[in-house]
Chain A
């Protein structure tokens, strides 16, 4: 008789990486639908492009690094990276932008650091920042929601724009694109216009964020809450991030409502909600102790506000996340929980988390 003698425990919850990642994707579906509804087919095409590129790049790199391909390709992490990156690329950006971004994210930001679990930075954000710095023109050509410019660009037309750069109805990219709400606020505040005037004078502003943007935001929020409910992500990072952003923006808003937009506006514009629930919560690059996650979230929230308000870029999400990625090991080190039966947590350890061990 041959008996198995594995060591305990002999049972498992059944939750695997791929089921977690798939749920993350699932949680984004309502937001994707809303986005397509308001801004056309661009996002869907970008998602397909980014995900396909991410998977190919992953397979290629696994092969070069002589790692088993199947388990890593099906873990769903490349899928999530592609999806999140696509969300950050303007809908009519030429195809090579998306492909380049996704390939860079996977090859450089993930696989060159050792693949799944070893990347210190969020790959999607690295890809995005690389694109933003290298191709500022293409990366800032955002389209206004359909309701605002009254143009319905169909699926074929969108494909055409993305792959050939040919615009329908003799339009040009300039006619199609427009500053985002965050952009508008930033530029016009520079011209000494008050927030109220800016918002009243621009059709792109909706009830609490930008038209369309706010609805996408709502669905992202719902998806995120579902993820927390399903224990795929913990509440710490989203709550800390949104909380700190609200508090700090409320403070300045009360100080001078003419110079600083309201907390609602900050929550529902740009990538705030996406960052709170889907980007900053990327487990690999985030802080991992419960208390650490709170500090990590607060850090991102504050940085988002600082970069948006005083920095050179309209939205600071990507930079905020990457900056806090750098701080994560240190945060983890100083936020170890107090172990049962010990008087207090103590830190006799060097904050070196990724500088030793068995990098492949």
Chain B
């Protein structure tokens, strides 16, 4: 009898990349739903546009690169990228903005570097940053939470705004959009107001921005799910949130009127999403346990620094990209002690 010979091990037990990415998508659902709940249909439409564009671009690039299309598409990594981008941009972003962001994410940041696994930078964040730099106005005009909004748009109206770029009833952009709480803090501080004055604004909730704090909670829940499923490890999110919180805490204690509270930092903007879903992107993050602590802490620190003294209100994307650059070096210097190589007994 003849048998096939293959190299050991002869058994495997693995969920596969596709299954892992699917778990990430599941974990994103609560936070995304909250986003829709607080800011309307726009996010959902963006999501649709982004996913369609991502799959399209990914397939196109694979064809051009003469790679098998099917296995690469079924790993869901393009969908995850698209999703992250879609929930990071303002809900009423025009459709072309989303498509452009996805283009940079998938085509430039991912496929041109060789596809999944070969990209040194987090694709979603590359897309986001390109948009932020190129279209600062569109990227920083968020909607107010629904409870504060003067105008409510149903699904159809939202779609119309997104696809035609004009708000209904002759309303100007200024009438429907607003700043994010982080934005607000930044501008108002710049105008010489104190944090306590700024916080009197109805944009703010109990510890973060109104609505934002709850969205953050749902992301946190998704993150816990990923931890439980062992898709991610605790090091990066913990280090990132801790360093952000600690740093914010020190400055807050030093001058609570000039610096927002740690809770505000953690529960506003993209901090929670970034900690569990963006900074943990395995491809671009550090891989060693100690390295992940450094990497996460780096993102936390950079986030605080850029938010406080930099030119942009939220800084997760910049912080992540900067640390992406440092990841290989961090990995190199944080290799675990190999079994039998001295050290502790």
Interaction A to B: no
**Chain B residues in contact with chain A, CB under 8 A?**
none
**Chain A residues in contact with chain B, CB under 8 A?**
none
